[in-house]
Each structure stands twice: as structure tokens, then as C-alpha cells.
């Protein structure tokens, strides 16, 4: 048992997993360190108060009352959803990953108090879901919307994190009793022979298996994965839901191994694929692996936003059709970005390929990070790439307003757990050495090879890797991902130019390393204009500004006179100037350019006009435009925002 690893996703020793997460993984400076500091000091710290105010903790306390244990006193349940408990578990998991990295006595005390609460709420037989314990109905009868296995999964994930962070078995025992109860209920010929409407338990059971070596949990995960896709949930919606979302919604339309398209509810789809990737690794299942590569490919080539976000449809929070990627109505749920990272990371471990880390980088810096405000206090549930001026007047959770907490609060603690565990997504090791998937200042290593990374990434492309420790007289290979966005780079080893040819996305340095050896990778990151493929209808005729891994956007507040970005166009051959703005949005590089005012179409009483009427137009007035990183948008006064801007007609 590899007790040296304190993060999520730990393949078993026997798993088919060319790469393994680096045992040493610590971010201690730069961009992500600051985001993680805010996550720890603000978001995580405020978590218990949020969960108290929303009633989640009260639900656990109520479920712990002796009378409830007997099942005869339904108490009041707080919250609108069956899965309220999962918010607690996700916060707890996040707190544990944080504790695994940094000691924090207050946080440790709060964690143990919540563990107490959870342990007390568990029923004698192992069952645990406060919604049903507090009068919500009979357990295991509403598999579609009940979210019992979903919550159980999040509890297991929290328990694994708690065990890895603290060494304690306290919460792990709760998780095992729950898993054992589930095993007693689910299966062919047992009380229930179907799956949960929301995948999550699959990854969780496999992590539980990896932690306990209890093969029954792997078998149970396999049962849930293979059982799904045969329409066992499709017989209709549960009570309280007036529309039937159809079997794609809960991924019950087709087994994963047969599918060729990501579809349905995006978070459900991607949590399921993450679980399938874990299963493929633990079972050496090459057919399943091939299906996962096919599905990841479908996602990245046809259903992913420039920001890495996925799940374009508001309708059922779903993947749209191929190339259906509207900027304004992008649903692009924060949780779906997180789920994409979870899936891609497992694919990186399973295949050893660098491309998965390309998508992870893009997602982390853009579609994911936009989900939390710079101050760590408010959140976005949906992450559009275009907000019109009056959209702010629309109320509701599913709008682009930063909100302190949501009625359906899945996203905030999900952001917390990814930020808290982020160091573990940076580097991997294999028999040959170490791979740097992401660039974040810190220390990464394993098997005797330890590297210190120093970088101002994403503001500057210089990455300095210093060897802190290396096995003597043993050639090792250090691989550095050459980002797909980068068209010019230099690589040196101890000052000497090294082979800069990337293979499969990796730059390689092989030698007998010694402490003090320095690898320098310099990635040129001039601002650039990116255009959509001809199939991306929603961005046709537009371009977006990018720099390094960052996607930029125009916010109304930065434009001269507060010009609405909807009235602006980019000029393709106008220079793009990057400039450091330490005072802006916590310190960013902004990008400026000279654009044009869009012409006003006449007549204005009908938004369509004869083709010839357009040809004669004069170019619009020149305007200095300012773009800021997309992740930092919606942190100032409300206003319009665009990632894609029309390209002015050339004349």
C-alpha cells in the first residue's frame, strides 16, 4: 500500500496505469498558490457557516436523533434537494485535501466535528441519507432523482480523503458500513437491480477499494457501470418532476463501452466516464479504454468551449449536439468543468498522453476558475462566454451572477475540493522518471527524484526546474508538456540548449540528474487571435484573444466610456499588446488592441437586411479595446462581456 500519496485518484499497484500521481506534490508559490490560499482562508473557512445557514448540518443533526434512528419521527428536512448531504461531504473532502497539504488546527477541529455528525447520523444498518431519514420517503425507491448513491459516493470520497490526510479510520469505517449496506441491497436478484440517477459512486467505490483493498467494492463499482445504459431508469420520472428528461439525461440510454458520443447531463456523463476510466485501469479493460478515448475525443473536438467548459445546454444541463457551442447561452456549469478535469486526469494516467493535460490546463485557467470570485466568497454556476447588457436583470440561480451560495449548491464545494487537491494534478511519475503536466511553482517528486519548479506562469512562460534530489547513477527522464497553444519555445539544461522537439506533446530530458541541475523551458506567449472552426456556428466571423493558457474577454467596464462590447469589433491585423496591470483584478496581464465600432445597420426596425446593403459600409470608428483574463470576469460592477468578438470587415 502506497502510504506516501496523500491526494485523490491513486491507482492500485496492479492497475494498468502508465503514470502515477507524484507522491510529492506541493504548490508553494505563484498563481495557483494564491488561488489556493484564498480557497483555504476564505472559501473553505466559510464553508461550515454556509452549510449551517443552508440547513445541511441541521439535517445531519436531526438524523442523528435517537428517535429518527428508529424511523418513527420524521423531522423537518432543510433544503430543496435530496442531495443536500453531498454539499457537506464535498466540503469535508476539500478540507481534508487541504489538511493533507497544510496544517490548520481550526480546520482540523471543524473536520472532526463534521465527522462526528456524519457518524452519528448513520443508521444502524449503515444507511445514510438525511433526506430519506427525515421523512422524505422510503429509501432506495426513487433511484432516478433520489441521489442516494451519489451522496454515498461523495461520502466515500470524503472518507478516503480523511483517511489519507489524517490516517484515521473513523470516517472510512462509516463509508465502509455504507458501502457494505449498498452491497447488501443492490445487485441481480437483490432488493434493487438498477443504478443511481447521478453517477459518482463508481469513482468513489474504486477509491474505497484502493484504500481498503476490499475487492468487493471494485466489483460493486463494476456492477453499477455495467448495469447502466440498459434503460433501467427510463421508465419515467419520479414524483415531483413534471418532465421526463429521457434516458440520456442519466446516462442510461447506452452502455459506456458502446457509446460514441458524450451526451445527456454533462456532469453525470463525465463523472460516469471518470469512474469508467478508474475501472478500465483497475481491470485492464482495453475495450472500455478504447471507448473512453473515443468519447474524450468526441468531447474535445466537437463539444468543448474555448474556455475548456462543456455542457452547452441549459435544457437539462446537457451536452448539446456536435458543434453546438453558443457563447451567450453556454451553460458550461462549473461542476462540468471540474468533472472534465477529473475525467481527463484519469485518461492521462491511463494512457500516459500529454493531450489530456492540455485540456486540463485550459479548463483550469478558464472555464473552471471563472466559477469562483477572486475573493473566494461568491460563485458562478453557469459560465457563459458572452453576457449582454440587460442579462443582469434576469433573476435565478442559473444566471451569470456571482452568488454567495446556491439553492443547489453543488458547485462551490466542488471548486473547493479541486483547488485543495490541485497539487496532485501537476505531476506524475513512472518507471522512467517524472512528468510535469502543469506548470505551478512548487515541489514535485517520487522514487528519489524531486524537482522544484519556479515560474510566473501564466503571466510569463519561463519555467525553471531545479533538481533537488535525484537517485545516484541512474538515468532518469524528465518530461515537460509542451502546451498545444505554444508555437515557439526554447529548452535548456544547465544552460545548454537541449533537444526541443516534442514527442506526443512531451519534451524530454534524460540524464543522470544531480541536485542543482536546472532545466529551463521558455514558452513564448505573445497574445494571439484565435478563430473558430467553420463548424462552430455560434462564433462564426469572430475571433478571441488568447495568451498562453488564458482566454481573454472584453468587459464593459474596461472599454472607453463603458462601451458595450456588443458594439465592438476586433481588427485582425491590429497589434495585440500585453501589459502587466498589478492593480487590476488582483494583478493580471491585460491585452489591448485597436478595434472598431460596429456599424449600425439600417433600417433598424427589422434585424435582417438585403445582402447588398452591407457591402457598402464604411469601417467603424477606431476604439482602443482592453481585454482581461476570462477567469477574472464578473468581479467588478455588472456589465456586458464577450470572449468572441466580430472581426471587422477588411477593406
Give the nearer residue to a second copy in terms of CB position, either 26 or 362: 362
Give the nearer residue to a second copy in terms of CB position, either 327 or 426: 327
Task: Give yes or no for residue 326 binding a second copy (CB under 8 A).
Answer: yes
639, 562 in Cβ contact below 8 A? yes
- Within positions 387 to 416, which residues make up the interface with a second copy, using CB under 8 A? 388, 390-391, 394-396, 398
Nearest CA-CA partner of 33 in 339, 456, 630: 456
Among 219, 287, 321, 375, binds a second copy (CB under 8 A): 321
Task: Give yes or no for residue 374 binding a second copy (CB under 8 A).
Answer: no
Q: Give the integer Cα–Cα distance in Å for 446 and 427.
A: 10
Q: Segment near a second copy (CB under 8 A), from 152-160, 319-327, 457-465, 469-477?
A: 319-327
Q: Segment near a second copy (CB under 8 A), from 44-52, 113-121, 156-164, 243-251?
A: 243-251
Among 611, 616, 618, 651, binds a second copy (CB under 8 A): 611
- CA–chain centroid gap for 403, Å, is 19
257, 288 in Cβ contact below 8 A? yes
Q: Give the integer Cα–Cα distance in Å for 632 and 101.
A: 26
Task: Give yes or no for residue 461 binding a second copy (CB under 8 A).
Answer: no
- CA–chain centroid gap for 47, Å, is 19
- Within positions 546 to 575, which residues make up the interface with a second copy, using CB under 8 A? 566, 572
Does the CA dihedral 267-268-273-276 come out positive or negative?
positive
- Is residue 410 annotated as a catalytic residue, yes or no? yes
Among 534, 582, 583, 616, binds a second copy (CB under 8 A): 534
Among 71, 215, 540, 624, binds a second copy (CB under 8 A): 540
Task: Give yes or no for residue 236 binding a second copy (CB under 8 A).
Answer: no
**Residue 32: all three cell numbers together:** 495557483
Task: Give yes or no for residue 504 binding a second copy (CB under 8 A).
Answer: no
Task: Give yes or no for residue 301 binding a second copy (CB under 8 A).
Answer: yes
- Within positions 247 to 286, which residues make up the interface with a second copy, using CB under 8 A? 247-248, 261
Task: Give yes or no for residue 241 binding a second copy (CB under 8 A).
Answer: yes
Helices (H), 213-307: 215-227, 266-283, 286-302
Contact pattern from residue 26 through residue 65 relative to a second copy, giving x for each residue in contact according to CB under 8 A and a dash for the rest: ----------------------------------------
Task: Give yes or no for residue 532 binding a second copy (CB under 8 A).
Answer: yes
Q: Give the integer Cα–Cα distance in Å for 193 and 176.
A: 20
644, 581 in Cβ contact below 8 A? no
Give the nearer residue to a second copy in terms of CB position, either 301 or 510: 301
Q: Give the integer Cα–Cα distance in Å for 320 and 434.
A: 38
Q: Segment near a second copy (CB under 8 A), from 88-96, 125-133, 496-504, 526-534?
A: 526-534
**Residue 565: all three cell numbers together:** 462590447
Of the listed 317, 361, 546, 555, which one is catalytic? Answer: 317
Q: Give the integer Cα–Cα distance in Å for 416 and 409.
A: 12
- Within positions 335 to 364, which residues make up the interface with a second copy, using CB under 8 A? 355
Among 90, 329, 417, 520, binds a second copy (CB under 8 A): 329
Q: Give the integer Cα–Cα distance in Å for 453 and 439.
A: 8
Among 55, 320, 433, 549, binds a second copy (CB under 8 A): 320
Among 52, 125, 219, 315, binds a second copy (CB under 8 A): 315
Count the residues of the shown chain that bind a second copy, applying the rule CB under 8 A.
Answer: 73
Task: Give yes or no for residue 599 binding a second copy (CB under 8 A).
Answer: yes
56, 84 in Cβ contact below 8 A? yes
Among 2, 67, 141, 297, binds a second copy (CB under 8 A): 297
Q: Is 42 exposed, middle or buried (0-12, 13-18, 19+ CB in 10 A)?
A: middle
Q: Give the integer Cα–Cα distance in Å for 637 and 211.
A: 47
Nearest CA-CA partner of 228 in 203, 246, 247, 208: 247
Question: At its nearest, how many Å lie between a second copy and the CB of residue 359?
Answer: 9
Question: Which residues 6+ apart lie within 8 Å of 606 measured at CB?
Answer: none
Give the nearer residue to a second copy in terms of CB position, either 582 or 610: 610
Of the listed 96, 151, 196, 410, which one is catalytic? Answer: 410
Q: Segment near a second copy (CB under 8 A), from 174-182, 415-423, 586-594, 604-612?
A: 604-612
Cis peptide before 634 (omega within 30 of 0): no
For 408-461, strand residue ranges (E) read 427-430, 433-436, 442-446, 449-455
Q: Please give the DSSP secondary-structure letter assigned to residue 42.
A: I
Nearest CA-CA partner of 423 in 54, 26, 138: 26
Give the nearer residue to a second copy in terms of CB position, either 156 or 569: 569
Task: Give yes or no for residue 324 binding a second copy (CB under 8 A).
Answer: yes
- Catalytic positions are 317, 410
Amino acid at each position: 500500500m502506497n502510504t506516501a500519496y496523500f491526494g485523490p485518484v491513486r491507482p492500485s499497484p496492479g492497475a494498468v496505469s502508465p503514470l502515477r500521481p507524484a507522491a510529492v506534490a506541493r504548490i508553494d508559490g505563484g498563481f495557483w498558490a494564491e488561488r489556493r490560499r484564498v480557497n483555504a482562508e476564505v472559501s473553505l473557512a466559510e464553508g461550515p457557516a454556509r452549510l449551517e445557514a443552508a440547513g445541511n448540518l441541521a439535517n445531519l443533526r436531526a438524523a442523528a436523533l435517537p428517535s429518527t434512528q428508529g424511523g418513527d419521527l420524521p423531522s423537518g428536512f432543510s433544503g430543496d434537494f435530496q442531495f443536500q448531504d453531498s454539499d457537506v461531504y464535498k466540503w469535508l473532502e476539500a478540507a481534508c485535501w487541504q489538511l493533507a497539504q497544510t496544517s490548520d488546527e481550526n480546520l482540523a477541529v471543524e473536520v472532526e466535528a463534521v465527522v462526528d455528525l456524519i457518524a452519528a447520523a448513520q443508521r444502524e444498518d449503515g444507511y445514510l441519507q438525511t433526506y430519506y431519514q427525515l421523512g422524505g420517503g422510503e429509501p432506495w425507491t426513487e433511484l432516478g432523482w433520489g441521489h442516494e448513491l451519489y451522496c454515498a459516493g461523495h461520502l466515500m470520497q470524503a472518507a478516503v480523503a480523511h483517511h489519507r490526510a489524517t490516517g484515521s479510520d473513523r470516517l472510512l469505517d462509516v463509508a465502509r458500513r455504507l458501502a457494505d449496506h449498498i452491497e447488501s441491497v443492490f445487485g441481480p436478484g437483490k432488493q434493487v437491480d438498477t443504478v443511481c440517477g447521478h453517477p459518482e459512486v463508481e469513482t468513489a467505490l474504486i477509491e474505497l477499494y484502493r484504500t481498503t483493498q476490499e475487492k468487493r467494492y471494485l466489483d460493486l463499482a463494476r456492477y453499477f457501470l455495467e448495469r447502466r445504459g440498459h434503460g433501467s431508469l427510463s421508465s419515467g420520472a419520479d414524483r415531483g418532476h413534471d418532465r421526463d428528461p429521457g434516458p440520456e439525461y442519466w446516462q442510461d440510454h447506452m452502455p459506456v463501452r458502446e457509446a460514441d458520443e458524450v451526451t445527456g447531463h454533462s456532469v453525470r456523463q463525465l463523472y460516469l466516464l471518470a469512474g469508467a476510466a478508474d475501472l478500465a485501469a483497475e481491470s485492464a479493460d482495453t475495450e472500455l479504454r478504447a471507448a473512453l478515448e473515443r468519447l474524450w475525443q468526441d468531447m474535445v473536438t466537437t463539444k468543448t468551449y474555448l474556455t475548456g467548459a462543456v455542457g452547452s445546454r441549459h435544457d437539462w444541463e446537457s451536452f448539446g449536439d456536435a458543434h453546438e457551442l453558443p457563447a451567450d447561452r453556454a451553460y458550461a456549469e462549473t461542476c462540468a468543468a471540474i468533472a472534465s478535469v477529473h475525467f481527463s486526469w484519469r485518461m492521462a494516467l491511463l494512457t500516459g498522453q500529454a493531450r489530456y493535460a492540455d485540456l486540463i490546463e485550459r479548463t483550469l485557467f478558464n472555464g473552471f476558475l471563472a466559477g469562483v470570485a477572486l475573493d473566494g466568497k461568491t460563485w458562478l454556476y453557469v459560465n457563459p462566454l458572452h453576457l449582454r447588457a440587460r442579462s443582469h436583470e434576469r433573476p435565478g440561480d442559473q444566471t451569470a451572477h456571482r452568488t454567495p451560495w446556491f439553492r443547489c449548491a453543488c458547485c462551490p464545494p466542488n471548486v473547493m475540493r479541486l483547488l485543495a487537491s490541485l497539487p496532485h494534478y501537476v505531476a506524475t511519475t513512472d518507471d522512467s522518471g517524472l512528468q510535469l503536466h502543469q506548470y505551478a511553482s512548487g515541489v514535485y517528486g517520487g522514487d528519489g527524484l524531486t524537482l522544484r519548479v519556479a515560474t510566473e506562469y501564466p503571466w510569463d512562460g519561463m519555467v525553471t526546474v531545479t533538481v533537488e534530489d535525484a537517485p545516484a547513477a541512474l538515468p532518469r527522464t524528465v518530461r515537460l508538456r509542451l502546451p498545444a497553444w505554444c508555437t515557439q519555445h526554447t529548452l535548456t539544461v544547465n544552460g545548454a540548449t537541449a533537444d526541443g522537439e516534442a514527442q506526443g506533446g512531451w519534451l524530454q530530458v534524460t540524464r543522470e540528474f544531480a541536485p542543482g541541475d536546472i532545466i529551463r523551458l521558455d514558452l513564448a506567449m505573445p497574445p494571439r487571435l484565435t478563430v473558430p472552426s467553420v463548424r462552430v456556428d455560434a462564433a462564426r466571423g469572430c475571433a478571441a484573444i488568447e495568451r498562453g493558457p488564458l482566454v481573454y474577454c472584453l468587459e464593459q467596464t474596461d472599454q472607453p466610456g463603458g462601451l458595450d462590447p456588443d458594439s465592438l469589433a476586433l481588427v485582425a491585423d491590429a497589434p495585440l499588446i500585453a501589459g502587466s496591470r498589478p492593480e487590476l483584478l488582483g494583478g493580471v496581464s491585460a491585452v489591448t488592441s485597436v478595434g472598431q465600432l460596429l456599424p449600425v445597420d439600417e433600417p433598424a426596425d427589422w434585424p435582417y437586411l438585403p445582402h447588398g446593403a452591407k457591402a457598402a459600409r464604411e469601417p467603424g470608428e477606431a476604439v482602443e479595446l482592453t481585454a482581461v483574463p476570462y477567469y477574472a470576469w464578473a468581479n467588478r460592477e455588472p456589465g456586458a462581456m464577450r470572449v468572441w468578438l466580430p472581426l471587422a470587415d477588411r477593406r
